[in-house]
C-alpha cells in the first residue's frame, strides 16, 4: 500500500515509521535536535511550497508535508492502523 503525503509524493506504508505534527518541532527540544541532525545528513525533503503541517518519518527520509496529521491518518488503511499519529 502507498500513502500520498503531498504534491506528487507517495511513500510505501511499510516504510513508514511515524507521522508527527509540525508544532512538535517548536515545543520539543529532542524533536528539534533530531530534525537538525537529519537535515545535516540531507535526509529531509520539503514537499511543495506551502507551510508544512506535519513531518513523516520513513526508514530513509523525513518528509515535511503540507497535509495535516489527521488527514494523513485518514489516508491510511486498516492494516496499518497500529501506526501511531503524534499531535500536539
pLDDT in the model for residue 84: 59
pLDDT tens column, 8-28 = 999 998 899 999 999 999 999
Low-confidence residues in the chain, pLDDT < 70: 77-88
* Residue among 16, 28, 6 nearest 58 (CA): 16
pTM of this prediction?
0.84
Number of Cβ within a 10 Å radius of residue 54: 26
Number of Cβ within a 10 Å radius of residue 83: 14
Cα distance between residue 70 and residue 73, in whole Å: 5
Amino acid at each position: 500500500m502507498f500513502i500520498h503525503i503531498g504534491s506528487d509524493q507517495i511513500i510505501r506504508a511499510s516504510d513508514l515509521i511515524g507521522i508527527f505534527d509540525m508544532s512538535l518541532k517548536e515545543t520539543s527540544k529532542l524533536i528539534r535536535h533530531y530534525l537538525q541532525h537529519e537535515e545535516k545528513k540531507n535526509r529531509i525533503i520539503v514537499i511543495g511550497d506551502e507551510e508544512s503541517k506535519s513531518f513523516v518519518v520513513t526508514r530513509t527520509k523525513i518528509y515535511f508535508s503540507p497535509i495535516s496529521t489527521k488527514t494523513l491518518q485518514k489516508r491510511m488503511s486498516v492494516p496499518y492502523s497500529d501506526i501511531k499519529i503524534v499531535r500536539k
